[in-house]
Amino acid sequence: MTSAEIGDVRIEYVIDGPDDAEPILLIMGMGAQLVAWPTDLVDLLVAQGFRVIRYDNRDQGLSSFTDAPPPTRGHVVRGLAARRWAVADYTLADLADDAAGLLEHLGIDSAHVVGASMGGMIAQELTLRHPDRVRSLCSIMSNTGHRRHGRSSPRLLPALVRQVRATPPTTREEAIEVGVEAFRVIAGRDFDEDEMRGLAEAHVARRVNTPTSRDRQLNAINASPDRTARLRTITVPTLVIHGLRDRLVLPSGGVATARAIPGSRLLMFPEMGHDLPRGRRAEIVEAISQNARHSG
């Protein structure tokens, strides 16, 4: 692993696959590090002929953290209530510029781009702000920023509130258990506890997620504008993937995204929640590959 200095932000990244392969940039979501991309999914992408680039968004993992007073609970609540009341240190546009800066640092003129959850929002924004940098787009379990589509299920809110109000872990073991439970709450039917424990351990080995970093990224989402109208200008091949059991970002988010982007393909899996189920990874990679081939 190594890092890139992009303005005042340091971005940690890792690359898998040969230097002469087609570059594909994977963008992870809120509160997650680059290790949240399952190893077998990365391996499958490499086998399909991609040079796979993963990175930590700012305020996550080994990338730099914002040097500013932590967000207050009031800031978070007001931002969730209405966009006009949101207060944020940065927006999704800034995170998209980080991604573009990383590609520039690596000497990559353009890449296929895949984003999951908040990463899907960043991927959309990257395509809108830097269209020449994006060969194809895949938005997974994400939304358009329109507050009527892709919100969290009311049934999930009590569990999310408990997580927000919980005392931060003080030991490695507690942090791992918190991570496993966070994965469990949002997963679909095929939750794999052993694999999720491994992912939680990988996160903790690099850096424990903090409420401050999570809230900064949440505020960035809440303060960013609805992208629906702008998404209609996207012309690159686009794939939208969503799980019908997703309660964190309801399936309406994926449907709205596909409707907004002309010519996009919508792929939905009945057992998938807000996760990347092992049993669907080969299909997901094949769909991403097919979408990428349309960019030629």
Cβ burial 232-247 (10 Å sphere, 16+ → b, else e): eebebbbbbbbbebbb
Contact assessment for residue 67 and residue 206, using Cβ atoms and an 8 Å cutoff? no
* Alpha helices (runs of H) in 187-237, residue ranges in sequence order: 193-206, 211-223, 228-231
How far is residue 123 CA from its own chain's centroid?
Answer: 8
Highest mean pLDDT among 54-58, 85-89, 170-174, 190-194: 54-58
Summarised one tens digit per residue, pLDDT across range 146-194 is: 989 999 998 888 887 777 777 888 888 998 998 899 899 999 999 999 9
Give the per-residue pLDDT at 210: 79
Backbone angles phi, psi at 89, to 5 degrees: -80, -25
Tokens 């890792």 correspond to what residue? Answer: 14
Query: CA angle 157-125-237, nearest 5°?
Result: 105
Q: How far apart are CA 46 and CA 23, in angstroms?
A: 10
How sure is the predictor about 1, in pLDDT bands with cuts at 50, 70 and 90? Answer: low
Q: What is the pTM of this model?
A: 0.96
Helices 118-129, 211-223: axis angle to 10 degrees equals 50
For residue 91, what are the CA distances in angstroms to 157, 219, 225?
A: 24, 8, 9
Q: Which residues does 281 contact at the CB level (< 8 Å), separation at least 6?
A: 38, 40, 41, 44
In contact, 276 and 183? CB cutoff 8 Å: no
pLDDT digits (tens, 9 = 90+) for 204-230: 999 877 788 888 999 999 999 999 999
Contacts of 124 (CB under 8 A, 6+ apart): 115, 137, 139, 142, 144, 227, 231, 234, 257
pLDDT digits (tens, 9 = 90+) for 248-296: 999 999 999 999 999 999 999 999 999 999 999 999 999 999 999 998 7
